[in-house]
Chain A
Amino acid sequence: MSTQMDETLEKPRVVIHGRKVVGGVAEGEALVTKETISGWGGVNAMTGTIIESRHELKGVSFAGKVLIFPGAKGSSGWSGLFHMTRLRGTAPLAMVFNVMTTKAALGAVVMRVPTITECDQDPLEVIRTGDWVRVDGDAGTIEVWSRKPGA
């Protein structure tokens, strides 16, 4: 009985399918925003913190999180800025976004983190900040748990 309970707990709450942007597998805590993210001028690369005035995540760092967001906006320095977060160790572990842009695509490529887009369910609705998320870029799957499995 208890084994069955554990298995139930270990099953993801939801599995989202999408298209690979960058391959690889990573898992971690989700950070979800319904607002688009500016790279250069919107993020401090040294800390991975969002600094844009009036952004709902202003002051929050995505370092070591799975970043779930609608898409990229703003300066063409997006990829360069996120590339620098990779150098500083403040990059997100993985990314899921809705709207494809050259900024987000190139940023994901040079950050080299598993990234998925074109999801079959809206990740901004289905995933909550604090959920445990496993992004498999190659398989195009995003598994979501309400808390870290086995924790």
Chain B
Amino acid sequence: MLRDITIGQYYPVNSPIHRLDPRVKILATFIYITALFIVKHFIAYSYILAFLGIAIVLSKVPVSYMIRGLKPLFLIIFLTFGINIFMTKGEIIYQLGPLDITKEGLFQAVFMATRLILLIIGTSLLTLTTSPIQLTDGIEKLLNPFRKIGVPAHELAMMMTIALRFIPTLLEETDKIMKAQMARGADFESGNILNRAKSLVPLLVPLFISAFRRADELAMAMEARCYRGGENRTRMKELSLHGRDFIASIMTLTVLAAVIVDRIL
């Protein structure tokens, strides 16, 4: 049940997008997000859509898989849509009881919902095509220049690696404890909000206890193997830039430029 959450879960296939350098992918994602927020007209969305479309096709991740990942966020998208459509003032085109639907509101709602969907799909493409280890490697490398001003790049990356590494473990653990309590007649699915919140106690208490225990054990195991920060550590896989990385960078920058030009004109 919990394992069905697919949003952003690494999808292991071999594709040009998967092989891109994680640094390029992370920066490209940032540029992509920036571009999304610069967009003012639907025309500019078409550039972004084209860019995203090419990336999705190249990534070999099935579109249905991505749509499935969107599901848990439908509520947020729907809320944004609803609030925008009713709360924007302007020319009234339809009245629904005390609520007015305006032309501007409709435009705003569709515009915002599109932005959200593109944002979610675009960013999940990063984690879908980059394994957690590559991702943190990339972040560490990107943060490296900031070490001089006191950013603990390696430590941050290590914390992220550990956090990402334990998400599936904790999900599994949650699943197990849930089942164990269900075997004792616990009911997580019915009742009102108060009852449901109460029914989470038998799940959360054991989960917290095991999370702390795991953290403790991991710290012990790392120390037993003499782990200490980033100084002088070498790595098994050095990151290096290839031709495809430059092509991807140029494409991303082109989209950003197009969007900016569109905004100014």
On whether the two chains bind one another, the answer is: no
B residues sitting closer than 8 Å to A (CB atoms) are: none
A residues sitting closer than 8 Å to B (CB atoms) are: none
